[in-house]
């Protein structure tokens, strides 16, 4: 029964129930603002990944919530990472390792109830704009079941001529520099505007789940000139790099990015393009952060921010010269570590959790935060203990998989990598944060390796039918390695571009 002081609020809830037909639990649940970022590593102020980076809006969000400083993706590539997060299943469970197929095209995932579907079925208004699922992997016939409404997902524009000085022919995404002239002409500005409009128009009689997926700092790293002006080239700080860093890594480590369009470090240094790329990545990150700020300001303007869970995440990290490469597609820290921030009711303020966590944990965490039933089929673990107390213990490491049989295990101190051919790497992140010294062959660390190896996925599924781009296979019987379906010779030199 309602106390006298709360009769008015009870009446309001009764009105909503009779007007909407929704159960009381749905009407009173918090909203969710789900912010996805593409290819953002730890170059964020609150994570300290680069000393010059300026991300005031993400930092402010972290200050009023909990930032996970040791968060890692399930796959260092867009499609498998997003498919894993949105289905709650590991790539090694689904077999989705490459840029295709989509989740509704694979037997292991075609009938799974995804994260947005879960909220839609619970009575939420659901909306997506920008890049949430990987582009073109959610077919038109399946889209209506995922979100109530789909907003625009504009692609990044291109200047008339390439800005970066790279040899032709070259993948069109391999470009960076000041472009376009105005913020409003960029894809991320338009995506933020769509999310702002969705927040303004979200029904008042039920909670919302609004997903906003930004494209930057994914290549091409374009932003208006004023964002480049934040990072003068003459004072630009480059990331730490070691010329012989790959000398103690297995040859198999090269196979994960055998013939990718992202240039090698040596190539960019030779062409004078490594510093411009670093500058462009920073400028793109700061511009994207400004669009996050626009969306957060719009949420506050609705008056619903006090009852809104905000989760901000990136699908994978990015190398900018470290380990001799640019891009992702590796099992090292630069490629797996990502920003992950939660803010909202029930979440500790200005908290920082150093335990290893996974993007896979977002799904069960949002269920618990919004009072929905737990899903025993999900492979992640709720972060609610850490959202209440960032020091709360957590027994699981973070596991990243890239193509079948290649796994990284990351706990608070160590990273262990086991490749499909049996080769290994081991890094002590406390003493060697740049992962410059592979300790896998040191007998004194055999026990550490054995402990970490026990966390490798017990399911290690073959590549899903329809996989092609960015995929690697290894035949343990013959030792044959294929990259995108073409054999790689054991003596074939590493591609140099």
Cα separation, 438 vs 466, whole angstroms: 35
Give a yes or no: residue 9 inside a domain: no
Is there a catalytic annotation at residue 381?
no
| Mean pLDDT within 7-28 | 43
Q: Is residue 237 part of a domain?
A: yes
Tokens of 109: 């995932």
Interval 341-367: pLDDT, tens = 999 999 999 999 999 999 999 999 999
* Pure H helices in 400-480: 446-453
- Do residues 45 and 54 make contact, with C-beta atoms less than 8 angstroms apart? yes
Q: Do the domain assignments include residue 438?
A: yes
Per-residue pLDDT of 427-471, as tens digits, reads 999 999 999 999 999 999 999 999 999 999 999 999 999 998 999
Evaluate whether 126 touches 147 at the Cβ level (below 8 Å): yes
72 given a catalytic annotation: no
Q: Does residue 77 belong to any structural domain of this protein?
A: yes
328: domain CATH number is 3.40.720.10
How far is 421 from 166, CA to CA, in rounded Å? 34
Q: Label the pairing between strands 340-343 and 65-68.
A: antiparallel
Nearby residues of 485 by Cβ (< 8 Å), 6 or more positions away: 468, 471
Question: Would you say residue 17 lies in a domain?
Answer: no
Cβ neighbours for 427, distance < 8 A, ≥ 6 positions apart: 333, 414, 415, 435, 437, 438, 439
CA–CA gap between residue 110 and residue 114 (Å, rounded): 10
**DSSP code of residue 342:** E
What pLDDT, on the 0 to 100 scale, is given for residue 73?
98
**Structure tokens of 132?**
């949430």
Residue 435 resides in a domain = yes
The pLDDT score that the predictor gives to residue 468 is 85
Structural domain includes residue 371: yes
Q: DSSP states of 134-202 as a string?
A: PTT-S-HHHHHHH-SEE---PPPP--SS--S--PSS--TT--EEE--SSGGGSHHHHHHHHHHHHHHHS
* Cα separation values, 247 from 25, 27, 242, 256, 383, Å: 58, 58, 10, 16, 38
Query: Angle at which helices 187-201 and 274-302 pack, to 10 degrees?
Result: 10
Predicted TM-score of the model (pTM): 0.94
* pLDDT tens, residue by residue, 154-188: 999 999 999 999 999 999 999 999 999 999 999 99
CA-closest candidate to residue 262, choices 332, 174, 333: 174
Please report which confidence band the pLDDT of residue 242 belongs to, taking 50, 70 and 90 as the band edges: very high
Q: Phi first, then psi: give them for residue 14, nearest 5 degrees.
A: -60, -40
Sorted by sequence, the CB contacts under 8 Å of residue 419 that are 6+ apart come out as 250, 252, 253, 405, 406
The catalytic position among 50, 57, 72, 134 is 134
Q: What is the mean pLDDT of the chain?
A: 94
User: pLDDT tens digits for 420-431?
Assistant: 999 999 999 999
Give the rounded percent of residues in the chain with a pLDDT score beyond 70: 95
- φ, ψ for residue 73 (rounded to 5)? -80, 160
Give 24's pLDDT tier (boundaries 50, 70, 90): low
What's the chain's Rg over C-alpha atoms? 23
- Which domain range does residue 366 map to? 31-488
Catalytic residue, chosen from 46, 73, 78, 221, is 78
Give the H or E element holding residue 284. Answer: helix 274-302
- How many domains is the chain partitioned into structurally? 1
Q: Is 288 in a helix, a strand, or coil?
A: helix
Q: Is the pLDDT of residue 19 over 60?
A: no
Task: Calculate mean pLDDT across residues 298-317.
Answer: 98
Q: Is residue 473 part of a domain?
A: yes
């Amino acid at each position: 029964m309602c106390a006298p002081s709360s009769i008015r609020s009870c009446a309001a809830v009764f009105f909503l129930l009779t007007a909407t037909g929704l159960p009381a639990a749905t009407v009173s649940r918090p909203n969710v603002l789900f912010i996805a970022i593409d290819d953002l590593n730890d170059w964020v102020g609150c994570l300290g990944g680069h000393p010059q980076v300026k991300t005031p809006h993400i930092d402010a969000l972290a200050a009023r919530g909990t930032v996970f400083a040791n968060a890692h993706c399930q796959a260092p590539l867009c499609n498998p990472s997003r498919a894993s997060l949105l289905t709650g299943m590991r790539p090694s469970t689904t077999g989705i390792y490459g840029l295709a197929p989509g989740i509704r095209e694979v037997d292991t995932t075609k009938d799974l109830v995804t994260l947005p579907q879960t909220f839609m079925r619970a009575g939420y208004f659901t909306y997506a704009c920008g890049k949430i699922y990987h582009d073109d992997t959610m077919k038109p016939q399946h889209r209506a079941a995922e979100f109530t409404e789909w907003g625009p997902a504009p692609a990044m524009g291109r200047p008339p001529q390439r800005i970066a000085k790279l040899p032709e022919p070259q993948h069109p995404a391999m470009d960076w520099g000041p472009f376009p002239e105005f913020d409003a002409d960029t894809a991320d500005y338009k995506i933020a505007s769509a999310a702002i409009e969705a927040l303004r128009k979200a029904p008042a009689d039920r909670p919302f789940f609004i997903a906003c997926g930004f494209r930057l700092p994914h290549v091409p790293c374009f932003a208006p000139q004023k964002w480049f002006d934040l990072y003068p080239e003459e004072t630009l700080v480059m990331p730490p790099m070691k010329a012989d860093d790959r000398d103690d890594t297995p040859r198999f480590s090269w196979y994960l990015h055998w013939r990718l369009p992202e240039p090698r470090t040596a190539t960019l240094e030779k062409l004078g393009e490594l510093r411009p790329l670093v500058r462009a990545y920073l400028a793109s990150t700061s511009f994207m952060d400004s669009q996050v700020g626009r969306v957060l300001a719009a949420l506050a303007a609705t008056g619903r921010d006090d009852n809104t869970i905000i989760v901000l995440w990136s699908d994978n990290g990015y190398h900018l010269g470290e380990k001799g490469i640019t891009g992702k597609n590796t099992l090292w820290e630069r490629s797996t570590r990502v920003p992950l921030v939660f803010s909202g009711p029930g979440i500790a303020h200005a908290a920082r959790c150093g335990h290893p966590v996974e993007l896979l944990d977002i799904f069960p965490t949002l269920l618990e935060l919004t009072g929905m039933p737990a899903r025993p089929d999900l492979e992640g673990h709720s972060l609610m203990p850490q959202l209440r107390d960032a020091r709360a213990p957590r027994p699981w490491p973070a596991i990243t998989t890239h193509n079948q049989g290649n796994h990284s295990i990351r706990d608070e101190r160590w990273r262990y990598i086991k490749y499909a051919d049996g080769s290994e790497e081991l890094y002590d992140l406390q003493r060697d944060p740049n992962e410059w010294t592979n300790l896998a062959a040191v007998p004194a660390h055999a026990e550490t390796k054995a402990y970490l190896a026990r966390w490798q996925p017990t399911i290690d599924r073959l590549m899903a039918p329809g996989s092609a781009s960015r995929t690697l296979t290894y035949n343990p019987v013959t030792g044959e390695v294929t990259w995108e379906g073409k054999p790689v010779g054991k003596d074939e030199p590493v591609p140099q571009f």
